[in-house]
Structure 1
Amino acid sequence: MAFLLRRLGFYFGAFFVAITLNFLIPRLMPGDPATRILLSLRGKLRPDQIDAIRKTYGFSGSLWDQYLQYLWRLAHFDFGISTVNFPEPTASLLFYAAGWTLVLVGAATTLSFGIGITMGIWSAWRRGGFFDTFFTPINVMLNAFTPAVVALLLWYAFTMQWPIFPLGRAHEMNLTPGFNLETLLSVAWHAVLPVASIVIVSFGAWHLGMRNTMINLLNEDFVLLAKAKGLSDRRIRNRYVARNAILPQITSLALSIGFVLGGAFITEVVFNYPGLGKFTLNAIQTRDYSFIQAQLILLTMSVLVANLASDVLNVILDPRLRSLGRA
């Protein structure tokens, strides 16, 4: 418990620093949303209208007043108004895009981790065998590809040359999304290629990481003792070796899950998928400060929460951390 409390305090401090920097950076840059709107309208706004816009976007008053207002809005999940999609609240755009990103990148990360860890266990346990010598070099090669290349290849092959899958989007254009079988099937069908493009380039890293960690553990004393006691290969493999080898992989998974809400920029753009990656890229291109700030806050929160979850899992799986907390 003491270990987790220390980690929780560290994450709280990191979050406070992150949101403070997120507040300061736009205000240290030249201009603000009101100035940008004024320039886009070529001086058609009156001074009182400019002041009202600055107040709407939290750029009015002293820096300290702006900071307090920023913290108050943040505590109420009020991220302001989108500059480009005015007067759409940034929160509604952010949570809409985050939902689709969780479907896409969340499914891809889960599949990549499950496939890669399973392959890594078998490769390490039967190292030098057919499975290891055949799949390990292939995964090394696939891991060297970039998501952009794989996404474009899959899109060209299976939507243009062989039009098996849809060109893009999250579901059929004439479909009204809802919690029903038709929507689920449409979303799953449209997600096949985007998910596959992420899985292909990412599961190899889990495979190699798990394989190498397990191989390093196979000659440890606790494994030799387990064999001497006559325990079954399955028990030694799963309960002793794999359980210890998966600890660093869980930490890596936490980082991956945290960055899920960062979106998959290239994949979402290629397949015209309405996720955070595509929305954030559009916000950067159009200088939608409100959305960029909100996305950075969401990304920071997701990374910190994922790391905290990793710490909890590590405490559950590693008795040494529990004894450290009691020390």
Structure 2
Amino acid sequence: MVFLLRRLAFYVAALFVAITLNFFIPRLMPGDPSARIIASFQGRLNEAQVEAIRKSYGLTGSLWEQYVTYLGSVARLDFGISTVQFPEPTASLLFYGATWTLVLVGIAIFFAFIIGSMMGIHAAWNRGRFFDSVFTPINVMLNAFTPAVVALLLFYAFSLQLKWFPLGRAHDPSLMPGFDLQFIGSVLYHATLPVLSIFLVSFGGWHLGMRNVMINLLNEDFVILARAKGLSDRRVRYRYVARNAILPQITSLALSVGFLLGGALVTEQVFNYPGLGKFTFTAIQSRDFSFIQGQLLLLTMSVLVANLLSDIANVILDPRLRKG
């Protein structure tokens, strides 16, 4: 419990630092988010209207007053107003984009972690044999590909040439969103290639990581003792070796959240998928600082929450941490 409280305090401090940097960095850059909106009216605004627009973006008062106002807005999950889709609140755009990104990244992470880890366990237990000799080099090769290359290859082959999958969107535009089989089927159909592109560049890493850790553990004393006691291979493999080898994998899973979300940015752009990546790309092009700030803060919070969950999982799986 002390371990978790110490880690929780660290993550709270890290989140506070991220919020502070997220406030000051855009203000050190030339210009401000309201300038684009004010310029679009071509001088037809009076002084009171200009001040109202600047106030809506939290740009009035001293820097300290702006900072305090910003902290209060973050606590209310109010990230301001988008300049690209003015006057749409940034929070609603983030929620919409995050929902679709979670569909992609969530499905891809789940299958990549499970399949990659199971393949790593089998390859390590049968190292040097057919399965290990064939699939380990293939996964090394796949792990070297970038999300952009895989996404473009899949899009070109299966969407442009074979026309097996749609060119974009998250679902059929003629369907109304809802929890019915037709809509869910359309969502899964449109997400197949984006999910597959993220899966292909990530599951090889779980395979290689699990295989390498397990190989290092196979000659440990507790494994030799388990075999000497006459325990079955299945029990030694999963209860003794894999259970210990999975701990670094869980930590790596939490650390990879930021990388996978970054990969989703490229993938969503290639497949015209309406997730955080596509919205962020548009926001960068249009200098929508409110959305960029909100997205960076959301990404930071996601990584911190993922790391906290990995700490909890490690405490559950590793009795040494509970005793400590």
Pick the TM interval, shorter chain.
over 0.9
Counterpart in the other structure of 2:81: 81
List aligned pairs for 1:128-277, cutoff 5 A: 128-257=128-257, 264-277=264-277
Aligned to 1:66: 66
Q: TM-score, normalised by structure 2?
A: 0.97
CA displacement at 1:295 relative to structure 2: 0.6
User: Mean alpha-carbon deviation: is it higher for 73-82 or for 232-241?
Assistant: 73-82
Instruction: Tell me the distance in 2 between the aligned counterparts of 1:48 and 1:87.
Output: 18
Unaligned runs of 5+ residues in structure 2 are none
- 1:199-232 CA distance string (max 9 Å, x none): 1111111100000000000000000000000100
Residue of structure 2 in register with 1:127 after alignment: 127
**Inter-partner Cα distance in structure 2 for 1:152 and 1:14:** 36
Partners of 1:228 and 1:273 lie apart in 2 by 55
Match of 1:51 in 2: 51
Q: Which residue of 1 aligns with 2:281?
A: 281
Match of 2:103 in 1: 103
Letter matched to residue 194 of structure 1? P
Aligned to 1:6: 6
Q: In 2, distance between residues paired with 1:291 and 1:112?
A: 30
Q: Which residue of 1 aligns with 2:90?
A: 90
Instruction: Work out whether residues 98 and 275 of structure 1, in 8 Å CA contact, stay in contact via their aligned partners in 2.
Output: yes
**1:22, distance to aligned residue in structure 2 (A):** 0.6
Assess if the C-alpha contact under 8 Å between 1:81 and 1:88 holds in 2. Answer: yes
- In 2, the alpha carbon distance for the partners of 1:194 and 1:114 equals 18
Name the CA distance, whole Å, in 2 between partners of 1:141 and 1:34. Answer: 47
Tell me the CA shift for residue 109 of structure 1.
1.0
Q: Following the alignment from structure 1 to structure 2, what is the Cα–Cα distance between the partners of residues 152 and 26?
A: 33
Structure 2 counterpart of 1:309, one-letter code = L
Distance in 1 between the 2:54 and 2:276 partners? Answer: 26
1:114 partnered with 2:114:
yes
Query: Aligned with 2:294: secondary structure?
Result: helix
Deviation at 1:64, TM superposition (A): 1.4
Distance 2:227 2:140 in 1: 31
Deviates more, 1:72-81 or 1:27-36: 27-36
- Residue 38 of structure 1: CA displacement? 2.7
Distance in 1 between residues matched to 2:261 and 2:198, nearest whole Å? 14
Cα separation, 2, equivalents of 1:175 and 1:47: 46
Q: Scaled by the length of structure 1, what TM-score is found?
A: 0.96
The answer for the alignment partner of 1:18 in structure 2 is: 18
1 CA distance for matches of 2:83 and 2:258? 27
Q: What's the offset of the Cα at 1:37?
A: 2.3
| Higher deviation after alignment, 144-153 or 88-97 | 144-153
2: CA distance between counterparts of 1:298 and 1:283? 15
Does the C-alpha gap of structure 1 residues 259 and 78 become closer, same or farther in structure 2, counting only changes over 3 Å?
Answer: farther
Show CA shifts across 1:260-292 (max 9, x none). 555611110111000001101110110001100
Deviations 1:287-308 (A, max 9, x none): 0011001111111111111101
Following TM superposition, by how much is the alpha carbon of 1:41 offset from its aligned partner in structure 2, in angstroms?
3.5
Following superposition, the deviation at residue 82 of structure 1 comes to 0.5
Counterpart secondary structure, 2:296: helix
Q: Is the 8 A contact 2:198 2:260 kept in 1?
A: no
- Contact 1:140-1:204 within 8 A present in 2 as well: yes
The answer to whether the Cα contact below 8 Å between 1:259 and 1:299 also exists between their aligned partners in 2 is no
- Mark the CA change 1:78 to 1:261 in structure 2 (over 3 Å): closer, same or farther: farther
Aligned residue pairs, count:
324
* Matching of residue 319 in structure 1 with residue 319 in structure 2: yes
The separation in 2 between residues aligned to 1:177 and 1:168, in whole angstroms, is 17
- Name the stretch that deviates more: 67-76 or 41-50: 41-50
Unpaired segments ≥5 residues, structure 1: none
